[in-house]
Structure 1
């Protein structure tokens, strides 16, 4: 009797191990994946809409000419990600962005990779830039593009817990490399897809964007695209997100 009982206990243990190894990790992996915070690169839509986005963290020579181009081209929807120090140093330009009706997002305070620092530092930096932007423009930011686009799952989780949606890009103009006006234009207009988030810069480091931007706008319109803010893009279609 004891030997039968012992055999049954061994068999039961073997079954539990087998099912535990076969099922447990898959369920945990699915749960982890479902709950993993994500950054947004584009939205899935058949409508020909794109979001033009501009990061600004330095200088006052390029931002206003970029705004002038948008006005001349009658582009009423765009999203600007502003750093805290730049906003405080150039409040008149930041206010102009707001007054022209463009969306404003957060681009952090110090231009350093968030993944190299603890959550406490990230929260402090984002709070500082949020305060600066609000002080100058009255905008309480909810979208953030991290400096250098740097993040990892921990950073995303921290920012999500602060109430922020992390915005990346699907098409990178590489305008900050100043590769030539036509290279910038070609890169954007050939890569753009419906629901795209397009990365450009209105910092002084982007020396060719002012000349490239009118061509980008005209060619995208000729392809049938309309321009919306990032928030409008997110509200109108399914989100494509990823952790890279």
Structure 2
């Protein structure tokens, strides 16, 4: 009887060791949170929606003047948005540019001319250079300003490791009430910066109660560090 008990105990020991090893394997083989969770299905395509939360995005072109107000509205409501900027806007609005970097908002490149790859690459380089002067190390996101598919932009994104992101809801083309009713988990929303600041704060507050507002980095599985400093 004793040898039998010894063998059984030895077997149980190895079974326990195997199970522990398997658990450790699966634990450490989980995807890294810094890698996108959105599958590109082999080819680089525009991202129009995520899997959780709602992400507010802003197109910041040469004429945009309300970014400072919008940033403070976001900070006041302890929420976030992701900003797509042009090099021209960055040059003409250094204080607002630095504010975006200092508050660690997601910043991507807004491409207004996708006619050829060289122009896209030049614009990316120009944006990165200006942002670097404010302390921004790198960028991940690209967007065509017209919201359309552009093969040149997709080729550049694929070749250089960027994520092309568009939107599923355009707040510029509908009322805030309609937008709040239609918005759902995973939506990427293009917001209208021409709205009155009080109106913007109101629908941000209402929307945040419906679904958690997250950055694009959070939506694709990365990490973001937003400083809610008044």
Normalising to structure 2: TM-score of the pair? Answer: 0.71
Q: Distance in 1 between matches of 2:187 and 2:48?
A: 7
- Equivalent pairs, count: 183
Q: List structure 1 segments (4+ residues) > 6 angstroms apart after TM superposition.
A: none
Structure 2 residue 176 is the aligned partner of structure 1 residue 185: yes
Of 95, 100, 104, the match for 1:97: 100
Gaps of 5+ in 2: 1-39, 223-230
Q: Contact 2:57 / 2:82 at 8 angstroms: preserved in 1?
A: yes
Gaps of 5+ in 1: 1-32, 176-182, 237-244
Q: CA RMSD for the aligned pairs?
A: 2.3
For 1:163-214, what per-residue CA distance to the aligned partner results, in whole angstroms no more than 9, with x for missing partners? 2100111111016xxxxxxx53123212211011111244xxx2x2524311
Of 194, 197, 205, the match for 1:218: 205
| Structure with the higher strand share, 1 or 2 | 1
Q: Distance in 1 between matches of 2:196 and 2:46?
A: 25
Q: Distance in 2 between matches of 1:55 and 1:78?
A: 11
For 1:66-121, what per-residue CA distance to the aligned partner results, in whole angstroms no more than 9, with x for missing partners? 1121122222x32111111111111111111122232211113xx33x1xx22222
Q: Distance in 2 between matches of 1:159 and 1:60?
A: 25
Q: Distance in 1 between matches of 2:191 and 2:48?
A: 14
* 1:136 to partner: Cα distance: 3.3
For 1:102-159, what per-residue CA distance to the aligned partner results, in whole angstroms no more than 9, with x for missing partners? 2211113xx33x1xx2222222222222222223342411111122223333431222
The aligned counterpart of 1:121 is 119
Normalising to structure 1: TM-score of the pair? Answer: 0.67
| Secondary structure of the structure 1 residue equivalent to 2:191 | strand
Structure 2 residue 183 is the aligned partner of structure 1 residue 197: no
| Structure with the higher helix share, 1 or 2 | 1
